[in-house]
Structure 1
């Protein structure tokens, strides 16, 4: 049988194009990893050259001062009643444990870590998340020896690139370590994905729409089927993100049992006397300490965030 001379070059051309596409994809991935690595190196060098300030209040020579750390140095407490969009998975709401009210210095610390390059806070915040994991162990109704998957809430690809890391994945690592130390077998699994814009600055309704775009990565469908899950996020606000994550997991046959966060936004009905003092930034104003007006002055801001 004679070979059609016009067909072979087409096959070779198609193969060459496929190879070129694959090479281009590989190069793109390598370039992104290189840029991410350079950003990390730059942050480390900046930490050596620039003066360190507390991420919560701006105090010099302290990465995270004792006063700003105090809201996180508490026993983890239940906060799911604050989240109007945290839909119940069963008859009861999903239990959520947290450490701090997301206001004032606590909010400033979370934002500095997540969005302003303060990666030096990763280790202490992961340790804080581990304490939440220890407390959550008591909330899980598990058979003896049964384990859980610890699944972080997803960020968009754009948010991960901008930040240079997946912050919820870091917290999930801490929560899983805390669960294991309390006797609950736990493995982290970054199984969820989210498309669309980041949630920063979104209102409650738009957060709900964003959470509806949370999905389970196809390759993990069998992994999560029939497994108990603990969800992890940095802050509980409306509850839309955790609710969207839970729905995606339930659709794949998983069983979300609880969630862990670092902080929780007080609901609109919270009394003013229940909230911490306003957050103060770092515009370098020196104001008298209200507790000791005649004593040394402290670094505060002229206006709350």
Structure 2
């Protein structure tokens, strides 16, 4: 039986044709092949981000990503953040929530040794106010809330722990867009820009475990600034969870749908972005 939602989607597609935000396939918002790229257990990625060396006081802080930020995955994230494809929100939130469940044993072990009985605080890496206005929502905040719901059930309900909750602890003020900046420039652009949000009770952060959540890990400059601010507030950062991480140039990414006319990502494709139906799919910069 066809639901009203399905009927409405079909009628809307007649007026406003849709294509997969990852590969451009017609008549589907997010095809099964591209969706599969963000399915499965996340992988450790902290070694890719040189600026995470700011976490040197806690060398065991892990970072996890579901995929490489290249090809269709890159196009998905850019479309979601900067091209108005809010229809992807539910799928991306669900993908990262599932990733959080995969790493819940490691997170639960880290929470257990924290000095307080606080629930795990799931904290979104902050975007600028201008970026939030442009996108119409705090998209990373939506990711964090989905992750917190999944972890609250996993760490609290199923295992009788303290659970988890999403909190907007950090704010970012000013600074230029990070797009196009190198590693050092990204770090310098953020110095003094990230702070604890006004009205946050610092006593609730003292000794509390924190999981940072973001969409993409690039150089690690933003995550490092967030960790530094949280550390000064007394919190214990136990990990960073992202949808995707940017591989260094020497790596050959393997993520990408394999279908006629869409070859796997190669080293050359990083220099010459692919073109499908005359549209550049992975050349747009990320904007925070």
TM-score by length of 1: 0.73
- Alignment partner for residue 206 of structure 2, among 225, 228, 236? 225
TM-score by length of 2: 0.77
| Secondary structure of 1:100 counterpart | strand
Contact 1:103 1:278 in 2 (8 A): no
Count of residue pairs brought into register by the alignment: 246
- Which residue of structure 2 aligns with residue 124 of structure 1? 91
| Structure 1 unmatched runs, 5+ | 1-44, 280-286, 292-298
State the shift of 1:268 in Å: 2.6
Q: Deviations over 1:248-298 (max 9, x none)?
A: 11111111111110001012331x3x434599xxxxxxx85779xxxxxxx
Q: Deviations over 1:147-195 (max 9, x none)?
A: 2110000011111111111111011012112212322411111111112
Write the distance in 2 (CA, Å) between the matches of 1:170 and 1:155: 12
Contact 2:48 2:248 in 1 (8 A): yes
Write the distance in 2 (CA, Å) between the matches of 1:57 and 1:90: 41
- Alignment partner for residue 233 of structure 2, among 224, 239, 252? 252
Relative contact order, CA 8 A, sep 6+: which one is greater? 2
- Poorly superposed stretches of 4+, deviation over 3 Å: 45-49, 274-279, 287-291, 301-305
Q: 1:136 to 1:167 in 2, by over 3 A?
A: same
Superposed CA RMSD = 2.7
Aligned counterparts, 1:32-111, within 5 A: 49-86=15-52, 87-111=54-78
Q: 1:264 to 1:289 in 2, by over 3 A?
A: closer
Write the distance in 2 (CA, Å) between the matches of 1:47 and 1:215: 43
| Secondary structure of 1:233 counterpart | strand
State the shift of 1:222 in Å: 2.7
- Which residue of structure 2 aligns with residue 174 of structure 1? 146
| Secondary structure of 1:57 counterpart | coil
- Alignment partner for residue 101 of structure 2, among 128, 134, 140? 134
Contact 2:69 2:246 in 1 (8 A): yes
| Secondary structure of 1:177 counterpart | helix
Greater Rg over alpha carbons, structure:
1
